[in-house]
Amino acid sequence: MRCYLHAYLLCSAFTLCSILYVCSQLASTSEGDREGKAAARSSHNEGDAVRKIPGLSKRGFFYSVRCKSLSVSYWNPYWRLPADVCGANWKLKSAAKEPKNESSHLAVVACGPRLEETVTMLKSAVLFSKKPLHFYIFAEDELHDGFRNAVSFTFTIYPILFPEENASEWKKLFKPCASQRLFLPLILKQVDSLLYVDTDILFLRPVEDIWSLLSQFNVNQLAAMAPEHEEPRIGWYNRFARHPYYGKTGLNSGVMLMNMTRIRGKFFKNDMTAVALQWGEILMPLLQKYKLNITWGDQDLLNIIFHHNPESLYMFPCQWNYRPDHCIYGSNCQQAEEEGVFILHGNRGVYHNDKQPAFRAVYEARNCSTPLNLAVSLLQPLEAALQTTTHTYCGRSSHLFTKRLKESIKSV
């Protein structure tokens, strides 16, 4: 009987010690995790960098911070992991809702003879918007004074900024300075979200309407773009591309809405290495691998990235990026047919030549209008000009250009 009692007491004591040891380990790990997270936040706020990205500039925005990778499992719950392990932050946050009075942040890149076109785009953004707008203009040095003289609203102007070691290669990719947009998340570190647009964009409704799409992103999505084509039979990527591309017909990056905080924090899957890479790490290797196979420069690189990370993209309809391709062979943007064109994209120089007179008519009418009486100074001359373009397919669809514009004018 004494032996049984002695054994029972030993087992009880051992069990109690085990429980106390596990509890102390949990408490220690939890406390260390809290201290580690606090230190990590402090380090992030101070802009500390733990290692340099090979082949990129010594400037601060071309550095990156990496953390250790360790999977979370039943035997490795997130609260037991060290503070410097990525898995400690495995919980996905719900999609952030846009504050009602938040400013919209818009960026554009202008090089060469693009001053007038860019100013016209900026004025179209201001014309219908009711919420504050903050503009970031990236332009060649010789254009800076032109913007200051032509624009009366507030904006921030930047020089063209590329990684020092590869600046000439990036600048000549596709069109001068076009690839600047790829580096905006690394340059504008203080900006959480951003709407990038090409210079040949005209807003036909308030900027805050497309900005509100940020609140529709799910927990994985970090950028939004429109398809390159709606009709695969006339698609470029699915017929001619020599590289991976997104979806069935690829993406057009002329209008690109970004949650840049998520872009900076994301590790992107790729076809160059088994290791996922951050935004600042993936760009130059992609260019080196595909530069002989890409036609549309930075847009092709974005297609490759989102081909391998499709869960990260929010696709918005073609009416938010309406181009000649949507009407040149007959109308093929169903959403525009139903609700009108929201953003007009005059790519291929159609604002300045006679190939698509309906697009040119919108640009010239907007360029000559005054905000005092838009129904008289903008809408009436535009409708008259569009009547002269019905000999073209886009001219026959030109009622879509004014459908939403009329509502925007009424709301001013």
Asked if pLDDT for residue 76 goes beyond 80, the answer is: no
Nearest CA-CA partner of 199 in 249, 103, 125, 127: 125
* pLDDT for residue 100: 53
Q: What is the pLDDT of residues 227-243, one digit of tens each?
A: 999 999 999 999 999 99
State residue 101's pLDDT score: 59
To the question of domain 104-316 being in CATH 3.40.50.300, the answer is no
394 or 86: whose pLDDT is higher?
394
- Average pLDDT across the chain, whole number: 82
pLDDT digits (tens, 9 = 90+) for 85-142: 333 333 333 344 444 558 999 999 999 999 999 999 999 999 999 999 999 999 999 9
**pLDDT confidence tier of residue 368, bands split at 50, 70 and 90:** confident
Q: In the predicted model, what is the mean pLDDT of residues 289-303?
A: 95
Split at pLDDT 50, 70, 90, the class of 283 is very high
- State residue 74's pLDDT score: 34
pTM over 0.85: no
pLDDT at res. 164: 87
- Distance from C-alpha of 83 to C-alpha of 36, rounded to nearest angstrom: 5
Question: 3 vs 6, 7, 8, 140, CA distance in Å?
Answer: 5, 6, 9, 90
Mean pLDDT of 277-305: 95
Inter-residue contact 222 to 266 (CB < 8 Å): yes
77-91, 252-266, 287-301: the lowest-pLDDT one: 77-91
**How much is the average pLDDT of 254-276?**
97
**Distance from C-alpha of 196 to C-alpha of 144, rounded to nearest angstrom:** 19
Per-residue confidence band for 217, with pLDDT thresholds at 50, 70 and 90: very high
The domain ranges of the chain are 104-316, 328-410
Q: What is the 3-state secondary structure (H, E, C) of the chain?
A: CHHHHHHHHHHHHHHHHHHHHHHHHHHHHHHHHHHHHHHHHHHHHCCCCCEECCCCCCCHHHEECCCECCCCCCCCCHHHCCCCEHHHHCCCCCCCCCCCCCCEEEEEEECCCCHHHHHHHHHHHHHHCCCCEEEEEEECHHHHHHHHHHCCCCEEEECCCCCHHHHHHHHCCCCCCHHHHHHHHHHCCCCCEEEEECCCEEECCCHHHHHHHHHHCCCCCCEEEEECCCCHHHCCHHHHCCCCCCCCCCEEEEEEEEEHHHHHHCCECCCCCCCCECHHHHHHHHHHHHCCCCCCCHHHHHHHHHHHCHHHEEECCHHHCECHHHCECECCCHHHHHHCCCEEECCCCCCCCCCCHHHHHHHHHHHHCCCCCHHHHHHHHHHHHHHHHCCCHHHHCCHHHHHHHHHHHHHC
Is the Cβ–Cβ distance between 65 and 49 less than 8 Å?
yes
**Phi and psi of 243, rounded to 5°?**
-155, 165
Do residues 247 and 310 touch, judged by C-beta distance below 8 A? yes
Residue 83 has pLDDT above 80, yes or no: no
Percent of the chain with pLDDT over 90: 67
Mean pLDDT score, 350-369: 94
The residue-averaged pLDDT of 78-87 equals 39
